[in-house]
Copies of this chain bind each other. A is one copy, B any other.
Amino acid sequence: MNYESLLADRTRLMSANAIREILKVVSKPGVISLAGGIPSEQSFPMDLMANLTEEVLSEYGTHAFQYDLTEGFMPLREQLALLLAQRGIDVPAEDICVTTGSQGVLDGIAKLMISKGDKIALEAPTYLGALSAFNPYEPEYIRMDMDDEGLVPESLEYTLQNHRVKFIYLVPTFQNPTGRTLTLERRRAVVQIIQKYDALLIEDDPYSALRYRGEAVPPIKTLAPDHVIYVSTLSKVFAPGLRIGFFAAPEFIRQWLVLGKQGVDLHTSTFNQALAARYLAGGHLEHHLPRIIDLYRPKQEAMSRSIEKRLPTEFTCSPSDGGMFLWVSGPEGMDMEVLYHRCVDKGVAFVPGKFFFTRENEGAQTMRLNYTMADENTIDLALQRMASAIAEM
């Protein structure tokens, strides 16, 4: 039968995730991949898992396997309230909802707010998973300038002056793909602007716990609670396969998001939420997080050193104090997608930066390098291979 005629209008925007397509090439034997965006399996607290599952079985019994509230498993929400308080966000457990990964929040927000043609303001570059969530609802993207200190506030103000946007989407701390962090001074400027224009901001914060040096910067949510939906996840500090995301939002929006989630998946796995509740309640995150940081910090430092040592001086790297990525810009006019194919032949892969931009022909000279998956020596070998591919161009 003719299935194509059954597609909705929106599907023309549901294109394949470019990174996933690129990762397929990468699985060739011998290729060192700096292309991924996933936590190292060494970061999972595997030594705790058997105990945590036992605790869940004895503490919650059948409750952990039954349908539960769409809002989330209350013992986890209580723990998340404590976690958010540590980040300076003071909200009661009732105001926090659990979703199926932070992807679930992004889809929910898009479903709730985006009518065809509505405008969304984004950093350029931005997180690709957010675009996957937003695209099917047919928004128009307004890209905003970034530099090494994150979003440029003047660019935000210009955007809000000239466009009525449904919301602003930011990853202000250790951004994917750039690793950049919006400075405190700029956060204050951003807050003034969103309050002035009465705009809603989505603060996506998967990475702030992965800080390798320097002082924590407060979430924007702490500075403008009514104007911010704060989105986070346990994927980077517990285990991504459990699919536990969460958000704190103004009540009106939260109630609508819950209503939307009823239709999407009813609720997130009770069992996994119970595991996460025991992980947090047992104080395990506090003990385990330093181990994750000790795992990643040397990898990041090794990559920074190798970039500086191995790549030509025209290649610069955005400074970054945490997260999972470094962002490298080559000389103006260079197309990193061309380099990508040469690098794969040399046995190293990365993601060309252009894929993270919503405007065509932007970011051709950039690339995203992930450092969580390879060890320090392998990272250096990867950069040597890349340097040799660059030398041949």
Q: Which residues of A contact B (CB under 8 A)?
A: 1-4, 6-11, 14-17, 20, 38-39, 41, 44, 46, 49-50, 53-54, 57, 61-68, 100-101, 103-104, 107, 111-115, 118, 129, 132-133, 135-137, 166-167, 198, 200, 226-227, 239-243, 250, 252-253, 256, 259-260, 262-272, 275
How distant is the Cα of A11 from the Cα of B1 in the complex, in angstroms?
A: 33
Min CB distance, A169 to chain B, in Å?
13
24 contacts between A and B (CB under 8 A): A1-B198, A1-B200, A1-B226, A2-B198, A3-B200, A6-B113, A6-B253, A8-B112, A8-B137, A17-B262, A38-B66, A44-B66, A46-B62, A50-B57, A65-B239, A65-B240, A103-B266, A107-B264, A107-B265, A132-B262, A243-B265, A243-B269, A269-B269, A271-B275
Closest to A14 in B: B259
Min CB distance, A319 to chain B, in Å?
28
- A contact patch SS: helix
Is there an interface contact between A11 and B198, defined as CB atoms closer than 8 Å?
no
A200: chain B residues at CB < 8 Å are 1, 3, 6
Is there an interface contact between A11 and B65, defined as CB atoms closer than 8 Å?
no
How distant is the Cα of A113 from the Cα of B115 in the complex, in angstroms?
A: 17
A2: chain B residues at CB < 8 Å are 198
Min CB distance, A371 to chain B, in Å?
17
Is there an interface contact between A8 and B263, defined as CB atoms closer than 8 Å?
no
Q: A20-B262, A46-B62, A271-B275 are in contact. List 16 more A-B contacts (CB 8 A).
A: A3-B250, A6-B166, A6-B167, A7-B113, A8-B114, A16-B259, A41-B65, A44-B65, A50-B54, A66-B241, A100-B265, A100-B269, A101-B266, A104-B265, A111-B136, A135-B263
**Copies, count:** 2
Closest to A265 in B: B100
A118: chain B residues at CB < 8 Å are 8
Is there an interface contact between A253 and B111, defined as CB atoms closer than 8 Å?
no
A269: chain B residues at CB < 8 Å are 100, 241-243, 269, 272
How distant is the Cα of A265 from the Cα of B111 in the complex, in angstroms?
A: 13
How distant is the Cα of A239 from the Cα of B67 in the complex, in angstroms?
A: 8
Min CB distance, A56 to chain B, in Å?
9
How distant is the Cα of A230 from the Cα of B50 in the complex, in angstroms?
A: 36
How distant is the Cα of A3 from the Cα of B44 in the complex, in angstroms?
A: 39
Given A167-B6, A252-B4, A272-B272, A112-B260 contact (CB < 8 Å): no
How distant is the Cα of A253 from the Cα of B359 in the complex, in angstroms?
A: 29
Min CB distance, A150 to chain B, in Å?
23
A241: chain B residues at CB < 8 Å are 64-68, 269-271
How distant is the Cα of A50 from the Cα of B57 in the complex, in angstroms?
A: 8
Is there an interface contact between B17 and A41, defined as CB atoms closer than 8 Å?
no
